[in-house]
Every structure is written in C-alpha cells, then in structure tokens.
Amino acid sequence: MGIRFRGWGIGLPDKIVTNDDLSLTLDTSDEWISERTGIRARRIGGTTRSLGADAGRAALRDAGLEPGDIDFLILATTSADRIAPSTAAMIQDDLGMTCPAMDLNAACSGFVYGLRVAQGLTEVGTRRVMLIGSEHLSRWTDWTDRSTAVLFGDGAGATILEYDEAGSDVLSFVLGTDGASADILACEHESTFTMDGREVFRRAVRVVVDSSEKAIAEAGLTPEDIDLVIPHQANVRIIQAVVERLGIPMERAVVTLDRYGNTSSSSIPLAFHAAREEGRIREGAHALLTGFGAGMTWASSVVKWSPGPGVL
C-alpha cells in the first residue's frame, strides 16, 4: 500500500533577471554571485496563484487526468498571495476543481512536507492528491539588500500522487522542525526576508546530511544506492557539502539554481522536472529528495520511480 507519482508540471515567469542585471542597481557582481552561490539568473514575475495554476494545469495534462479526478489539493508555499483565503483555494477555482484545498507552509521544506501529508491522506481514503509548490518570493524581497536579493526567484512545480494498494514510490521520510532557530531566516507581515546567511548555511548542511542519512537507512539503502539527489536549491556550495558528506558523487545531484535561484517550495519539483527533461529519471532508480528552510525545517525522503503515465 502506498502512493505513486503520476504527472508533473511547472510554471515559470517569462522574465529572466541575470546577475549582470542585478549589478546595475546593487553593489554586487556576476563573479561574486556565481562563485559564492552558483546562481546566474532567476525568473521574476507572476503570482503564487498564477504560477501554481500553470504548474497544476501542466501536471494534469502530463498525467492525462481531468480536474474532477483530483480529490485534494495541497499548495506548499511561503509566499501566499493573501492571508486569506488560501492561495490553494484560488488555484482550485482556476483549475476548475471542486476538491478540498489548503496551503501548507514549511518554507523550503514545504514540498517534501506536502508529500508526507499527501501520503497520510491516501492512507485514510483519499485517492488522488495534487501537490503544488509555488512561490512569488520577489514580492517579499528587499531589492536594495544585496545579501538576500541575489538569492531568490519565482516559480512553481506540481505533481499528482495516487493511492496504490500494490506498492509505493515513496520509501521513507524524515522531517523535522527547530522553532528555536526561527530568527535566522524570517519575513514579517508587509516586510521582506532577513537572514543570517552564514548561520543558515552551517545549520542547513548539518540537518540535511543528518536527515538524508536517516531517510536512506530507513529505506533500507546505503548512499551508494542513491542514483539521484534532488535537493532544495539554495546554494551550490551547500549541495556540494551535503553530497560530499553523504559520500555521493556530485554528478548525481540535480542543480537548477543556476537558472532559477532559490524558489523555496518550488525548487524540488522544478529540479525533478529538469532531471526528467535531461533523461535522468529511470525506472527503478532511487532518488533522495531533501530540503531545509525557515523554521528551521528540514525534510528528506527516498523515492523509487515506478513506470507510470507522465513520470518516466
């Protein structure tokens, strides 16, 4: 008994903002940003609603499903368009769906948290869950602060999860939250993100490595069995430090932050989509999904791709 991935889809704004574009208004340079983070460009525009609806629509098409086939919508987001109603409710309407819909905020761990909630829902009788990660972080970015403005981007990714009594694509989960670390990365109402970058970096590597090791062991595997690492995309140096400590070659990690920057809840599904476009998703392959973010939260999950419409 478990869940299977059906289709995937993404939603991205058309506008590309390069590091050179940012260096016109900020005291920064392409050299500093790309060396210190790996980021070269990001997409800016849309809303959490519009990008999420685009991703959800694409996932439905990819899975060959109709809006009425979805029984629950979860939107993982840190940048809801309004306090109320939920952005998920707006997307539900845009997609012509009638199922229950709700937002989930676990910051950049939101997509894997959403996967865990989706699995729980299927265990109590929900057949299909649409899980979207969508972010409009540019709205909550201080464009005069070079220490944060160069990092974030907008975008969305979605998948559809389906109950299967015969087995599961999701083999393990390790989730965590440390609310005592709340102040190292935060955004108040009507304000912008503030961050102690070095501290976030240090703690991120620790919690991602720890939760990944546990998730791999819980799946009955060792790091050598992991064919693909699909990490949250915050800084390529964090990804390098994590895979090195796990003993997994860097070639197995998917990196998309060079084109999209840090898109919080959207970064894992956007990275999955890129891996699929590059032909890196193979039947039977094991992938480690792992993220961390404000909270602090962290979430790691090991999945195994089975054949299914729109996935391989």
Is 108 annotated as catalytic?
yes
Per-residue tokens: 153: 């981007």
**What does the angle CA 236 – CA 237 – CA 238 come to, to the nearest 5 degrees?**
90
Which among 19, 105, 187, 232 is annotated as catalytic? Answer: 232
CB of 91 to ligand COA, least distance (A): 23
Which among 108, 136, 235, 273 is annotated as catalytic? Answer: 108
CA distance 183 to 12: 30
Cβ distance to ligand COA smaller for residue 92 or 109: 109
Cβ distance to ligand COA smaller for residue 87 or 262: 262
CA distance 275 to 47: 25
Per-residue tokens: 23: 């260096």
Is 235 annotated as catalytic?
no
Closest CB to ligand COA belongs to which residue?
Answer: 197
Q: Where are the alpha helices (DSSP H) in 127-235?
A: 146-149, 197-218
Distances (CA, A) of 199 to 118, 246, 252, 300: 31, 21, 26, 20
243: burial class by Cβ within 10 Å (0-12, 13-18, 19+)?
buried
Name the residues that contact ligand COA, by CB under 6 A. Answer: 28, 32-33, 36-37, 108, 146-147, 150, 185, 195, 197-198, 200-201, 204, 234-235, 262, 293
Is 232 annotated as catalytic?
yes
CA distance 108 to 249: 24
Cβ distance to ligand COA smaller for residue 119 or 267: 267
CB of 238 to ligand COA, least distance (A): 6
Q: Residue 88 phi/psi, 5° resolution? A: -60, -40
CB of 69 to ligand COA, least distance (A): 33
Which among 19, 105, 235, 262 is annotated as catalytic? Answer: 262
CB of 162 to ligand COA, least distance (A): 29
Cβ distance to ligand COA smaller for residue 92 or 290: 290
Cβ distance to ligand COA smaller for residue 86 or 264: 264
Residues with catalytic function:
108, 232, 262
